[in-house]
Structure 1
Amino acid sequence: MESLAPAPPAQAIAVLPRSSILVAALSTVVEWYDFTLYLYMTTVLSRVFFGTGSTSLLITLAVFAVAYLMRPLGAMAFGHIGDRLGRRKVLLGSMAVMTAAMLATALLPTHDQIGSIAGALLLLLRCVMGFAVGGEYTGVTAYLVEGAPPHRRGLVASLASAASEIGALLAAGVAALTVTLVPGPTLDAWGWRIPFLFGTLLATTVLIARSTMRESPAFEQQPPPDTKGAGPLMTTVRTQRPALYRTFAISALGSVTYYVGISYVPTYLGAVSGFSESDALWLSTIAALVVIVVTPFVGALSDRVGRRPALTLFGALAVILPPAMFGLMTQGSFAAALTGAVVLACMAGGISAVAASAIAEQFPVAQRLSGLALGATAATALFGGLTPYASQALVDSTGWALIPGALVAVTALAVLPVLRRLPETAPAIRAPQPGHLAPEPEPQAR
């Protein structure tokens, strides 16, 4: 397929063909389908794998949190491979592991069949999935930023965020259809397997499509790595500490707004607001659909106004909006709950859209995946995987229904000063600044 730009002269960094960009951008569907599906099916999975005890829901959320702690380990392993051997190998390897883990989950025996061993097997497979996902989103965003036209990096990288919302939408829709159409006893017996089997088919399709992708042109034009010196991880720790801190802060905000403001919402609507499983899932489906439309516009906006202004604006909104929106969702009205869910989802989607390019742009090509592993993925593990569990545990222990919104607001308040001092990385408007990142060679017209 024809390239997005004319072939550059020697020493210039080429852009990827449209086919590779499209496959990479859309393939984040699988990662977010799986992890969002788990949260959307939490109440069902708690019964299937941990019985009907009073602690089953919290244990199921704890499994999600523990598995998420595997992400930094996977990110470091895949990051080392990606910075040494190339982005394409990472994207193929992580998707292959995800496909196998999702199929194995769909075939698991239940608590009624083998007792507590079922929950242990679920935890094991979630850890395998978490390890594989560690190489996914950071690998995709780095690949897109390195292969996109410089003035479109925000837009192109945001497509990965939009595609992740498509994954979330698919998860919500498939989960809602399954819960709505399959009777309760049948759902607990075998119906819960349907969404995971669908995910396996989706992952297999993406794996085949990824086999057609070209290697990142920026990586190909790097000098061969020094295999005798310090590895990419140690080099990154030594030379990129300010970038690691900034990336951690941006990703902490993106993770807490997404996993509390989008992924946890169906559980919240059912456990706190009293909505049925079916209604809660349909509300979340509508919210995910809105975010898919909004995300590319926010990514394009960041190309025009810069990453720092866009992130600062959404950071300020994350301080103000979440407590009010969670308050709306407790009123018992479908319209109020929908308003709260949509506003939270748009806020989280906007932050993710800008963060996709902003975090990758913090690092030079040679240490990019390692930097994202140490900064972004570590923040995601703490502020993504743990926050749904923490939100539900705090609501249960305090009885205060607005705790999830307060959790988001406090995190945003802590991150906001970092965002205000963020060096601008949007190539179209960035000016060289002493001590800041050196710009990468850009594509040149003939």
Structure 2
Amino acid sequence: MHRPISRGSLAVAAFSTVVEWYDFTLYLYFATVLARVFFGPGEASLLVTLGGFAIAYLMRPLGAIFFGHIGDRKGRRHMLLLSVALMTAAMLSTAMLPTYAQIGPAAGVLLVLLRCVMGFSVGGEYTGVVAYLLEGAEPHRRGLIASSASAASEVGALLAVGVSALTVASMSEPDLASWGWRIPFFVGAALAGTVWIARSTMEESPEFHRQVREQTIPESPLRHSLANHRGGIARAFAISALGSITYYVGITYVPAFLTSAGSLTESVSLWLSTAAAVVVILVTPLTGILSDRVGRKPALVVLALGSAVLPMTMFALMASGSHDQALIGTFVLAALAGGVSAVGAVATAEQFPGEGRVTGLALSATMATAIFGGLTPYVAQLLVERTGWTMAPGAMIALVSLCVLPVFLLMKETAPR
């Protein structure tokens, strides 16, 4: 018999996703500032900074294997406590780094190394939370409950862009480069420490208790997932691929795009992205509820079609230099990304049974995110700079959407009837 987790534990799990998204969104929203601080002046600095973001994301699959093993063998709660402790240390260390002006190119190397530690630590973070929420929610409310992780993560993104915008707007460029850039990372470290304390009060997942009771915990979660859940891994990869590129190109890359191609100031770009984050927070629970009523498959198909048609036009609008057109573009892209994230959270987790779920989910999602998330802002910026085609980022989203659409059309419905 299904025993749901207490509302308090579900709330802690959902809210705790703010840390991961705060940090990684902060890095992208603050990319133009970090480029000057850690890699020095010059046009190549922003591209190198985005390259460091991509390299760090390649660590996520390794972290997924490590933390997925812990989650499937030792429990979801234990995994989530360990991952956020490592995230706290990484963010605090970043806030205390020396700059390019102090130690030269070594500053950029240290920054990238700490990004790799962060990438490793969040390898199973978001997927672990989604698995926990799925296993603890009432079956008929899984879409809404799992989507709360996406909504809460966007609160982290909103907090990141808000702190970034306030920091940039409240001080001079010399002060920002000297010490002001540290403020958002100290805020992130404090936030992560608070989440660790809150997570220590969480219950263990009832699904893990069932596996302990029935002695069905896999000896090697990775081997178990690869042997028994290859189809689920492929489907979850496709869902996560669309979720990653719509989010990381359609939302987190947008401030850099607006500044470089749209000719808007850093401050205006960040405030536009703040408004876009609010759109995601509003869209996410509504899409989660919709997926509980009509199913995951129809929602994913409609969102894939929208992602194939709309993004190119939206990037063209944002490149016009008009504030109003930039606002429309950011809002539409945010709504698409929020919808995909909401349905994708529950749909990916439902591709796996309880045994080996965290490993299978983390492996498929982080592999997709490493390719279509961490790498794509770098590729998007490179394409815009080399070709001058401002619709190139939208074309990237459209291409991935068309590739995964057949998977969505053929997949079975996973929502409980």
TM-score norm. by structure 1 comes to 0.92
Count of residue correspondences: 415
Structure 1, unpaired ranges of 5+: 1-11, 430-446
The answer to whether the Cα contact below 8 Å between 1:84 and 1:225 also exists between their aligned partners in 2 is: no
Q: Which residue of 2 aligns with 1:409?
A: 398
* 2:227 matches 1:245: no
When structure 1 is superposed on structure 2, of 57-66 and 233-242 the one drifting more is 233-242
Structure 2 distance, partners of 1:380, 1:341, is: 21
Q: Which residue of 2 aligns with 1:353?
A: 342
Picking from 147, 155, 168, the partner of 1:179 is 168
Paired AA for residue 407 in structure 2: V
* 2:196 matches 1:204: no
Picking from 377, 380, 403, the partner of 1:391 is 380
Q: Which residue of 1 aligns with 2:123?
A: 134
Query: How much does 1:226 deviate?
Result: 5.9
Paired AA for residue 162 in structure 1: A
Structure 1 distance, partners of 2:190, 2:168, is: 20
When structure 1 is superposed on structure 2, of 235-244 and 61-70 the one drifting more is 235-244
The answer to whether the Cα contact below 8 Å between 2:29 and 2:255 also exists between their aligned partners in 1 is: yes
Q: After TM superposition, where is structure 1 displaced by more than 6 Å over at least 4 residues in a row?
A: none
Paired AA for residue 234 in structure 2: Y
1:61-210 mapped onto 2 (5 Å cutoff): 61-210=50-199
Q: For the structure 1 residues 226 and 358, does the alpha-carbon distance in structure 2 shift closer, same or farther, using more than 3 Å as the test?
A: closer
Query: How much does 1:367 deviate?
Result: 1.1
* 2:7 matches 1:18: yes
Query: How much does 1:377 deviate?
Result: 1.1
Structure 2 distance, partners of 1:100, 1:139, is: 20
Query: How much does 1:325 deviate?
Result: 0.4
Q: Which residue of 2 aligns with 1:441?
A: none
Q: Which residue of 2 aligns with 1:297?
A: 286
- Matched residue of 2:245: which SS? helix
Picking from 398, 403, 423, the partner of 2:412 is 423
Paired AA for residue 388 in structure 1: P
Q: Which residue of 2 aligns with 1:39?
A: 28
Per-residue CA distance 1:143-184 (angstroms, 9 max, x = gap): 000000000000000000000110110011100000001111
Query: How much does 1:373 deviate?
Result: 2.3
Query: How much does 1:54 deviate?
Result: 2.2
Structure 2 distance, partners of 1:283, 1:393, is: 23
Structure 2 distance, partners of 1:35, 1:224, is: 38
The answer to whether the Cα contact below 8 Å between 1:233 and 1:370 also exists between their aligned partners in 2 is: yes
The answer to whether the Cα contact below 8 Å between 1:13 and 1:221 also exists between their aligned partners in 2 is: no
The answer to whether the Cα contact below 8 Å between 1:172 and 1:285 also exists between their aligned partners in 2 is: yes
Paired AA for residue 277 in structure 1: E
Per-residue CA distance 1:342-401 (angstroms, 9 max, x = gap): 100010000000000000000010110111122111001100000000000111111111
The answer to whether the Cα contact below 8 Å between 2:217 and 2:355 also exists between their aligned partners in 1 is: no
CA RMSD of aligned residues (A): 0.8
Q: Which residue of 1 aligns with 2:249?
A: 260
Structure 2 distance, partners of 1:260, 1:211, is: 34
Per-residue CA distance 1:266-322 (angstroms, 9 max, x = gap): 000001110000000000000101111111010010000000000111000000010
Paired AA for residue 392 in structure 1: Q
Q: Which residue of 2 aligns with 1:341?
A: 330
Query: How much does 1:224 deviate?
Result: 2.8
The answer to whether the Cα contact below 8 Å between 1:88 and 1:214 also exists between their aligned partners in 2 is: yes
Structure 2, unpaired ranges of 5+: none
Per-residue CA distance 1:65-119 (angstroms, 9 max, x = gap): 0000000100110001111110001100000000010000000000000111111
Q: Which residue of 2 aligns with 1:442?
A: none
The answer to whether the Cα contact below 8 Å between 1:47 and 1:188 also exists between their aligned partners in 2 is: yes
Q: Which residue of 2 aligns with 1:433?
A: none
Query: How much does 1:225 deviate?
Result: 4.8
- Matched residue of 1:145: which SS? helix
The answer to whether the Cα contact below 8 Å between 1:65 and 1:385 also exists between their aligned partners in 2 is: yes
- Larger Rg belongs to: 1
Paired AA for residue 368 in structure 1: R
Q: Which residue of 1 aligns with 2:276?
A: 287
Q: Which residue of 2 aligns with 1:217?
A: 206
The answer to whether the Cα contact below 8 Å between 1:326 and 1:401 also exists between their aligned partners in 2 is: yes
Structure 2 distance, partners of 1:335, 1:87, is: 45
Structure 2 distance, partners of 1:387, 1:78, is: 25
- Matched residue of 1:343: which SS? helix
The answer to whether the Cα contact below 8 Å between 1:108 and 1:122 also exists between their aligned partners in 2 is: yes
The answer to whether the Cα contact below 8 Å between 1:14 and 1:217 also exists between their aligned partners in 2 is: yes
Q: What percent of counterpart residues are identical?
A: 62
Paired AA for residue 105 in structure 1: T
Structure 2 distance, partners of 1:357, 1:95, is: 22
- Matched residue of 2:355: which SS? helix
Structure 1 distance, partners of 2:176, 2:288, is: 39
Paired AA for residue 249 in structure 1: A
Q: Which residue of 2 aligns with 1:371?
A: 360
Structure 2 distance, partners of 1:59, 1:225, is: 47
Paired AA for residue 85 in structure 1: K
Structure 2 distance, partners of 1:137, 1:423, is: 24
Structure 1 distance, partners of 2:150, 2:291, is: 14
Query: How much does 1:53 deviate?
Result: 2.1
When structure 1 is superposed on structure 2, of 369-378 and 92-101 the one drifting more is 369-378
Structure 2 distance, partners of 1:259, 1:202, is: 22
Structure 2 distance, partners of 1:169, 1:36, is: 9
